[in-house]
Amino acid sequence: MGINPQADAATGICTIDGQAVVFHCNHYNRTLQNTIENCRHIDNQKVLIQSAAEVAFLGLQQHFREHPGMKPDERLRYAEQLYSFCGFGLLPLAETVKKAVGQNEFDLTTYSSHYGRALALNFEKRRGAGEYFDLGFTIGALSAVFGEAFSGELTKEAISLKGRQSTFHIYVGGDEFEYLFGLESGTPAYLEVAGMASVIPERTLSGNIDEAAIIAGVSQAPLFGNQQGLIPAFGVELTRHYADYYNLVSFRFERQLAEVLKKRPALADLLIYDYPALFFYKQYINLEGMALSRTLLTEAGHICGFNTMGGIMSSDAWDGLVMPMVQEREDWLHGIIAVINALGWGVWRVAELVPGEKLVVRVWRPYESLGYLRWFGYADHPVDYLVTGVAASLMNLMYEGDMTTRPNLNMDYYYKINRSPTSFWAEQSRCVAMGDQYSEVTVTRRKRG
Q: How would you list the strands of the sheet with 166-172, edge to edge?
A: 105-110, 166-172, 150-154
Taking CA 75 as the corner, what is the angle to CA 69 and CA 77, rounded to the nearest 5 degrees? 135
Residue 205, pLDDT score: 78
Rounded to an integer, the average pLDDT of 291-320 is 92
CATH homologous superfamily of 43-182 equals Trafficking protein particle complex subunit 3 (3.30.1380.20)
Query: How do residues 16-34 score in pLDDT, each as one tens digit?
Result: 999 999 999 999 999 999 9
Residue ranges covered by each domain of the chain: 43-182, 192-445
- Choice between 283 and 106, residue whose per-residue pLDDT is larger: 106
pLDDT over 90 (residue 52):
yes
pLDDT over 50 (residue 112):
yes
Q: Confirm whether 43-182 and 192-445 share one CATH topology.
A: yes
Residue of 123, 125, 129 lying closest to 160 (CA atoms): 129
Instruction: Report the b/e string of 249-261 with b at 16+ CB within 10 A.
Output: bbbbbbebbeebb
**What is the spatial distance between Cα 22 and Cα 14, in angstroms, rounded to a whole number?**
7
Instruction: Kindly tell me the sign of the dihedral angle through the C-alpha atoms of 19, 230, 24, 170.
Output: positive
Q: Beta strand 105-110 with 150-154: parallel, antiparallel or unpaired?
A: unpaired
Residue 230: other Cβ atoms inside 10 A: 21
Q: Print the SS3 string covering 256-322.
A: HHHHHHHHCCCHHHHHHHHCHHHHHHCCCCCCCCCHHHHHHHHHHHHHHHHHHHHHHHCCHHHHHHC
Residue 421, pLDDT score: 85
pLDDT over 70 (residue 285):
no
Q: Which residues contact 127 (CB under 8 A, 6 or more apart)?
A: none
**What is the spatial distance between Cα 340 and Cα 203, in angstroms, rounded to a whole number?**
14
What are the start-end ranges of the H helices in 383-447?
Answer: 385-395, 411-418
Beta carbons of 238 and 23 less than 8 angstroms apart: yes
- Choice between 293 and 58, residue whose per-residue pLDDT is larger: 58
**What is the spatial distance between Cα 51 and Cα 247, in angstroms, rounded to a whole number?**
9
Give the model's confidence band at 122: pLDDT under 50 very low, under 70 low, under 90 confident, else very high: confident
H or E element that contains 347: strand 347-354
Fold of 192-445: Muramoyl-pentapeptide Carboxypeptidase; domain 2 (3.30.1380)
Residue of 400, 398, 391 lying closest to 427 (CA atoms): 391
Give the model's confidence band at 448: pLDDT under 50 very low, under 70 low, under 90 confident, else very high: low
**What is the spatial distance between Cα 295 and Cα 300, in angstroms, rounded to a whole number?**
9
Q: Which residues contact 383 (CB under 8 A, 6 or more apart)?
A: 251, 368, 369, 372, 431, 433
**What is the spatial distance between Cα 241 and Cα 253, in angstroms, rounded to a whole number?**
19
Residues in the chain: 449
Residue 176, pLDDT score: 94
Beta carbons of 126 and 39 less than 8 angstroms apart: no
> In degrees rounded to 5, what are phi and psi of residue 107?
-105, 140
Query: How do residues 384-428 score in pLDDT, each as one tens digit?
Result: 999 999 999 999 999 999 999 999 999 999 999 998 888 999 999
Query: How do residues 251-283 score in pLDDT, each as one tens digit?
Result: 999 999 989 888 887 777 777 777 877 777 776
pLDDT over 50 (residue 326):
yes
Rounded to an integer, the average pLDDT of 108-132 is 91
**What is the spatial distance between Cα 330 and Cα 322, in angstroms, rounded to a whole number?**
12
pLDDT over 60 (residue 287):
no
Rounded to an integer, the average pLDDT of 308-328 is 94
Three-state DSSP state, 178: helix
Rounded to an integer, the average pLDDT of 120-130 is 84
Residue 272, pLDDT score: 74
Give the model's confidence band at 449: pLDDT under 50 very low, under 70 low, under 90 confident, else very high: very low
pTM greater than 0.85:
yes
Indicate the average pLDDT of the chain: 92
Q: How would you list the strands of the sheet with 231-233, edge to edge?
A: 6-8, 13-16, 19-25, 236-242, 231-233
Cβ-defined contacts of 93-97 (< 8 Å, 24+): 93/138, 93/141, 93/142, 93/145, 97/72, 97/142
Beta carbons of 42 and 256 less than 8 angstroms apart: yes
CA 16 to chain centre: 16
Query: How do residues 145-184 score in pLDDT, each as one tens digit?
Result: 999 999 999 999 999 999 999 999 999 998 999 999 999 8
Q: Which residues contact 402 (CB under 8 A, 6 or more apart)?
A: none
Going by the DSSP 8-state scheme, the letter that residue 240 receives in this structure is: E
